[in-house]
Amino acid sequence: MAKNQCISISVIKRLPRYHRFLGELLTKGVKRISSRELAQTMKLTASQIRQDLNCFGGFGQQGYGYNVELLYHEIANILGLHDKVKTIVIGAGNLGKAIVNIDFNKLGFDLIGIFERDPLLQGTTINGQVVQCSQQIEHFCKENQVEVAVLCVPKESANTLVELLISLGIKAFWNYSHYDIGVYYDDIVVENVHLSDSLMTLSYRVKDFKKNNEIKF
């Protein structure tokens, strides 16, 4: 019964969190769970869980609920965690280093190269990978059919770098830079992580929270 027209970005963005909670339940040895119970655990509504899951198929069973292990694997499949795409990281500064330590393989990617402009960092090893010179990017991509680039570079470098990467056929970016790729290019996939945007949002929320609590007390 897998339908296809209802998969909005809001639904997709909730899948990793389902995956995480189901993984925990699995570890705890929980065999089955109802949408009601899962909703309580995750602070969602049972309705939303059933709606979300039914975008992809009927994974549950009436009167019983959902099999935790089965659902966990189904979601991993939907997210494509078993299909690895070749990925490079550009920028080996503090952030780049932190990112290279993420377990890309578990998340559906095959990290095959790290590049950095600064000669001092070139040749060092991060998580088993040797940091290469940025000038090697073009050659490396032509040799290796790279599909995804992770951008951990300052905004000023991002501009020309993205132009190069796109010309080399890269169509997907995990973007930590403040360069707004999506504004300049169409028909590519960009997942932005703007840490300072997140921190500014927190700034608003903290101060709003303080204001409201002052009034209350």
Shortest Å, Cβ 4 to DNA: 12
134 by Cβ neighbours in 10 Å (0-12 / 13-18 / 19+) ranks as buried
Q: Which residues contact 93 (CB under 8 A, 6 or more apart)?
A: 116, 118, 121, 152
| Contact partner, 60, from its own copies, DNA, none, Cβ < 5-8 Å per class | DNA
Shortest Å, Cβ 213 to DNA: 22
The DSSP-derived string for 186-209 is SS-EEEE--HHHHHHHHHHHHHHH
**Total Cβ atoms within 10 A of residue 77:** 12
Build a one-symbol-per-residue string for 66-105: x at contacts with its own copies by CB under 8 A, - elsewhere: ------------xxxx-x-x-------xxx-xxx-xxxx-
Using rule CB under 8 A, residue 202 touches its own copies: yes
Shortest Å, Cβ 12 to DNA: 10
**Total Cβ atoms within 10 A of residue 109:** 22
Shortest Å, Cβ 98 to its own copies: 4
C-alpha 41: how far from chain center: 23
Using rule CB under 8 A, residue 206 touches its own copies: yes
**Only segment of 34-42, 115-123, 135-143, 162-170 that touches DNA (CB under 7 A):** 34-42
Grouping H, G, I as helix, E, B as strand and the rest as coil, residue 38 is helix
| Contact partner, 217, from DNA, its own copies, none, Cβ < 5-8 Å per class | none
> What is the identity of the amino acid at 25?
L
Shortest Å, Cβ 158 to DNA: 26
Using rule CB under 8 A, residue 31 touches its own copies: no
| Contact partner, 194, from DNA, its own copies, none, Cβ < 5-8 Å per class | its own copies
The DSSP-derived string for 40-100 is HHHTS-HHHHHHHHHTT---EETTTEEEHHHHHHHHHHHHTTTS-EEEEEE--SHHHHHHH
Pick from 26, 30, 42, 46 the residue near DNA by CB under 7 A.
46
Which residues are at the interface with DNA (CB under 7 A)? 1, 3, 8-11, 34-36, 44-48, 50-51, 53-54, 58-66
